[in-house]
């Protein structure tokens, strides 16, 4: 068996296949038995990296693959081996190494039945760069589960990583370890506790915190329920916030399953499920660096509707805000989404924007930013009643669904397709990968073209009177229907007023401005600029002068 594994690792990269025309998907791995626990990230060039737990040799191992923007399989056929050690390996997580490859970490049972954490770096050609079958991250007694991973600093190339996990060597706590680019552990052997608190800690999440370290979040058991805590961990492993952890949310009831993503400004967004009310809702909080400052005490409510919101997914919108999608049970099981601005205010309807509420069950969304402030969402869909298919929808920056109502079918092959993960590389392309049961349990993916599917009406913008005193009217002419947002800035580039956006038809549209800012104060005399965005993309700017 070891010989077979070594041969599999030594196979040269194979560029084969391209995206199929039909919505049946491109095979990522169709090896014997099942492939599961998969995760995927963008390669930054229109393709993606994928990692999964693979049972082709009966006991699960860790495999990885690189799929190019053209649909070519760049590494070994059916995946490059990251770890084929004795015992099973599962729960893979991966991150870019900043140099064209990846670092993957996983739960590992080679030494005992409790589970440890190991990691491997894979180079651009698909070869393992660290020790055969990976380097140990933690082999302490007790269970180590649920690893998460992030680059150890922003902008480094190549980058080391920090791996955090839920550790049961004593009471459940969150531990972390930093590996340099050679795979050498830089902190205490078997990792160090992220928090000095002795409270039970579960469900770690992690994100790079600017150039100085990482931010680790977790669910912590308190006297009256579970709360969300976080710690900013420096390169030396020392806490930069309260050593016992900083409180992200300690509202009534339970808060759990945190997600951590970058805010694109060196800080972090956290989103979680929250049962402080009659139903489980979705809340979010932003933390700015280098100090600790939260936006909203207790977190910002993502959706105001009182119904269970579950299985959330979140990603930075690329403009300082946050995009969130979830399974919503207000009627059946549907998919909704919301966008928060950098201050935590909801930019879409307070009850969330509908992504899919077609008849049938729609659940377990995955979300990626589209590069324009909007989102690409994929989910499991049972609208036909004949099994589970994969659907996707693009929501623009204003919350308008840009594709067919109810989403586009990305795969309708026989049997079930589930566990969709979507990644996007820009405003032109995304990739969806899923587990597929047309065979045993395989991995397939499909390219999702973004450009050309959105309506982009041509516009022109005028202001009258100009100069203005008490009021001005902006007029724009559009060649097609869409959704507009008009924003006023002062001469220094500071936002003064965002005028209501709404759907419009082709033709001339007029938007009045009473020369006041968002708080209702009369604007001082001077030069201002009006920027018109149509369907999430800035299209026209007009200078206007106020005379007092």
pLDDT grade for 453, boundaries at 50, 70 and 90: very low
Give residue 183's pLDDT.
Answer: 97
Query: Please, is 184 exposed, middle or buried when counting C-beta atoms within 10 Å of its C-beta (0-12, 13-18, 19+)?
Result: exposed
Per-residue confidence (pLDDT) for residue 463, from 0 to 100: 87
In the structure encoding, which two tokens stand for residue 528, read together? 């201002």
Taking alpha carbons only, the member of 127, 148, 42 closest to residue 433 is 42
In the predicted model, is pLDDT for residue 505 greater than 80? no
Report phi then psi at 99, rounded to 5: -135, 30
Structure confidence at residue 478 as a pLDDT band (50, 70, 90): low
In the block, residue with structure tokens 């902008």: 155
pLDDT score recorded for residue 546:
93
The pLDDT tens digits of the residues spanning 120-146 come to 999 999 999 999 999 999 999 999 999
Which token pair is 348?
């879409």
Q: Which of 52-66, 369-383, 498-512 has the lowest mean pLDDT?
A: 498-512
Look-up: residue for tokens 């506790």?
Answer: 193
User: For the whole model, what pTM was predicted?
Assistant: 0.81
What are the DSSP calls for 261-300, one per residue?
Answer: EE-SSSSEEEEEEE-SSSS-EEEEEEEETTTTEESSTT-E
* Model confidence band, residue 196 (pLDDT cutoffs 50, 70, 90): very high
* C-alpha span between 539 and 507 (Å, rounded): 16
345-355: average pLDDT: 93
Task: Classify residue 523 by its DSSP letter.
Answer: P
Cis status, amide bond into 465, omega within 30 of 0: yes
> What does the pLDDT average to over 325-331?
95
DSSP 6: H
DSSP tag of 524 = P
Average pLDDT over all residues of the chain? 88
Q: How many Cβ atoms from other residues are within 10 Å of residue 420's Cβ? A: 27
pLDDT tier at 451, thresholds 50, 70, 90: low
Q: What percent of the chain has pLDDT over 90?
A: 66
Look up residue 346 and give its DSSP letter. Answer: B
Contact 497, 522 (CB under 8 A): no
pLDDT at 307 over 80: yes
Domains for the chain: give ranges and CATH numbers: 1-16+48-193 (no CATH), 459-546 (2.60.40.4070)
Strands (DSSP E) contained in 416-478 are 417-424, 429-436, 442-449, 459-464, 472-478
143 compared with 3, residue with greater pLDDT: 143
pLDDT at 543: 86
- Rounded to 5 degrees, φ, ψ at 128 are -70, 130
Q: 80 near 122, Cβ under 8 Å? A: yes
Residue 329 has pLDDT above 80, yes or no: yes
> Is pLDDT at 262 greater than 80 in this prediction?
yes
The pLDDT of residue 474: 87
The pLDDT of residue 458:
43
């Amino acid at each position: 068996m070891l010989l077979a594994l070594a041969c599999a690792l030594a196979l040269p990269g194979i560029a084969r296949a391209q995206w199929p025309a039909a919505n049946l998907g491109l095979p990522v791995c169709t090896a014997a038995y099942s492939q599961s626990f998969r995760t995927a990230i963008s390669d930054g060039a229109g393709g993606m990296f994928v990692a999964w737990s693979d049972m082709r040799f009966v006991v699960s191992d860790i495999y990885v693959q690189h799929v190019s923007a053209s649909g070519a399989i760049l590494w070994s056929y059916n995946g490059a081996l990251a770890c084929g050690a004795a015992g099973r390996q599962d729960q893979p997580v991966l991150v870019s190494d900043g140099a064209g490859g990846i670092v993957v970490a996983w739960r590992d049972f080679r030494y005992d039945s409790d589970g440890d954490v190991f990691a491997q770096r894979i180079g651009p050609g698909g070869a393992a760069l660290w020790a055969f079958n990976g380097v140990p991250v933690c082999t302490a007694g007790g269970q180590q589960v649920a690893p998460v991973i992030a680059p150890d600093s922003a902008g480094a190339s190549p980058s080391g990583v920090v791996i955090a996990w839920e550790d049961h060597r004593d009471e459940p706590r969150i531990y972390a370890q930093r590996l340099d680019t050679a795979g050498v552990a830089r902190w205490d052997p078997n990792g160090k506790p992220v928090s000095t608190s002795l409270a039970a800690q579960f469900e770690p999440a992690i994100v790079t915190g600017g150039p100085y370290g990482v931010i680790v979040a977790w669910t912590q058991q308190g006297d009256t329920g579970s709360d969300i805590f976080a710690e900013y961990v420096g390169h030396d492993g020392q806490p930069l916030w309260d050593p016992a952890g900083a409180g992200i949310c300690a509202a009534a009831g339970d808060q759990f399953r945190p997600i951590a993503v970058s805010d694109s400004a060196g800080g972090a967004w956290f989103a979680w499920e929250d049962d402080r009310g009659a139903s489980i809702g979705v809340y979010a909080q932003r933390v700015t660096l280098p100090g600790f400052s939260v936006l909203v005490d207790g977190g910002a409510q993502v959706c105001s509707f009182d119904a269970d919101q579950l299985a959330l997914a979140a990603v930075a919108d690329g403009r300082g805000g946050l995009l969130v999608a979830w399974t919503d049970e207000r009627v059946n099981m549907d998919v909704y989404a919301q966008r928060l601005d950098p201050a935590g205010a909801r930019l879409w309807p307070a009850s969330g924007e509908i992504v899919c509420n077609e008849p049938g069950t729609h659940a377990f969304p995955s979300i990626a930013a589209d590069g324009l402030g909007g989102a690409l969402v994929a989910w499991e869909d049972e609208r036909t009643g004949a099994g589970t298919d994969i659907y996707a929808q693009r929501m623009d920056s204003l919350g308008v669904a840009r594709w067919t109502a109810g989403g586009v079918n990305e795969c309708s092959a026989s049997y079930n397709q589930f566990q969709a993960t979507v990644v996007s590389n820009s405003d032109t392309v995304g990739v969806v990968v899923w587990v597929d049961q047309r065979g045993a349990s395989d991995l397939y993916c499909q390219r999702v073209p973004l450009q050309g599917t959105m309506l982009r009406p041509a516009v022109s913008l005028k202001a009258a009177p100009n100069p203005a005193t008490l009021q001005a009217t902006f007029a724009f002419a559009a060649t097609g229907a869409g959704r507009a947002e008009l924003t006023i800035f002062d001469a220094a580039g500071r936002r003064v007023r965002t005028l209501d956006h709404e759907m419009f038809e082709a033709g001339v549209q007029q938007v009045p401005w009473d020369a006041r800012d968002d708080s209702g104060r009369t604007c001082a005399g001077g030069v201002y600029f009006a920027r018109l965005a149509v369907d999430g993309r800035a299209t026209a700017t007009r200078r206007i002068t106020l005379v007092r």
